[in-house]
Amino acid sequence: MISIERDGAVQIIRMDRIEKKNALTQAMYMDMAEALKSEDESIRCHVMLGRPGAFTAGNDIADFLKAAMSGDGLEAGGVGKFLGALHQPSKPVIAGVDGPAVGVGTTMLLHFEMVFATENALFKTPFTDLGIIPEAGSTLLGPEIMGYHKAFELFALGESFTAEMAKEAGFVNHIVAPAELEERVIAMAQKVAAKPQNALRISRELMRGKREVIEKRIFEEMGYFGELLKSDEAREAFTKFMSKA
């Protein structure tokens, strides 16, 4: 369900569950976390992709709720491992988005170095509609990247953003044709991989700033997230959502 490919010094991490629009399970989160944390020195850049027509529909809700209600909670499972790897991946990450990028499909992008999207990309974060809050450090990174007002519109109101809106907001770099997406993303990753690595690493670390602050916010969000999941408001919202699925 997560396929890993290599193209020279580029590692391609692909969400590959197209029959479910790449909805993410705990096992998929774990595989992505391991890939992002790889210490293989021959990997110089990661690429994150879905399949044509779907980046990811976000969490597989049934799998997610099962993990959330377990004794260990989300922090100990695949979600926690992925969020831990997300804010400090071993190498730069470039994403290519086609189709829906729901929930974590949008929030993960805030951590990456570059994002390419097609005109068919649609970014949506329906957290508050489900009685929960945004995750993956998006309550911190969102306002930093796009300003408070745009971040509120996307993450608190849950308004859908087109590729053009996402580019205007600052979390998409380039809009490309669907047929060109993977080629363009991998070509950019190869360009990144060809740079002098020490200079690139230090530049990246300085621009990304103190990751401890983001890590603290991620786990702060997860604490509220876990509390809210148990609320009547969230139970009602998830029950309604599942009845439509």
Number of independent structural domains in the chain? 1
Q: Which residue has the tokens 């990811």?
A: 56
Cβ neighbors of 217 (< 8 A, separation 6 or more) are 137, 139, 140
CATH code for the domain in which residue 30 is found: 3.90.226.10
Kind of pairing between the strands at 122-124 and 161-162: antiparallel
**In a 3-state reduction of DSSP, which class is residue 164?**
helix
**DSSP annotation of 54:** B
Beta bridge partners of 163: none
Domain interval for residue 125: 2-179
What is residue 91's predicted lDDT score, i.e. its pLDDT?
95
Q: Please give the pLDDT value at position 73.
A: 65
Identify the pLDDT of residue 226: 85
Residue 230 forms part of a structural domain: no
Q: What is the pLDDT of residue 61?
A: 85
The pLDDT score that the predictor gives to residue 209 is 83
Domain assignment present for 227: no
Q: Provide the residue-wise pLDDT of the chain in tens; the chain has 245 residues.
A: 999 999 999 999 999 999 999 999 999 999 999 999 999 999 999 999 999 999 999 999 888 888 777 666 666 688 989 999 998 888 999 999 999 999 999 999 999 999 999 999 999 999 999 999 999 999 999 999 999 999 999 999 999 999 999 999 999 999 999 999 999 999 999 999 999 999 999 999 999 887 889 999 998 998 898 889 889 998 888 888 777 66
Whether residue 157 lies inside any domain: the answer is: yes
The dihedral built from the CA positions of residue 31, 35, 38 and 40, taken in this order, carries a sign that is positive
Give the per-residue pLDDT at 90.
81
User: Does residue 243 sit within a domain?
Assistant: no
Answer whether residue 145 is part of any domain.
yes
- Residue 165 in domain: yes
Residue with structure tokens 């692909």? 14
Q: Which residues contact 102 (CB under 8 A, 6 or more apart)?
A: 56, 57, 58, 124, 125, 126
pLDDT of residue 168: 98
226: in domain: no
What is the distance, to the nearest Å, from the Cα of residue 45 to the centroid of all Cα atoms in its chain? Answer: 16
- The runs of H, that is alpha helices, within the chain are 26-36, 61-68, 78-86, 104-107, 138-146, 148-151, 163-169, 181-193, 197-208, 211-229, 232-244
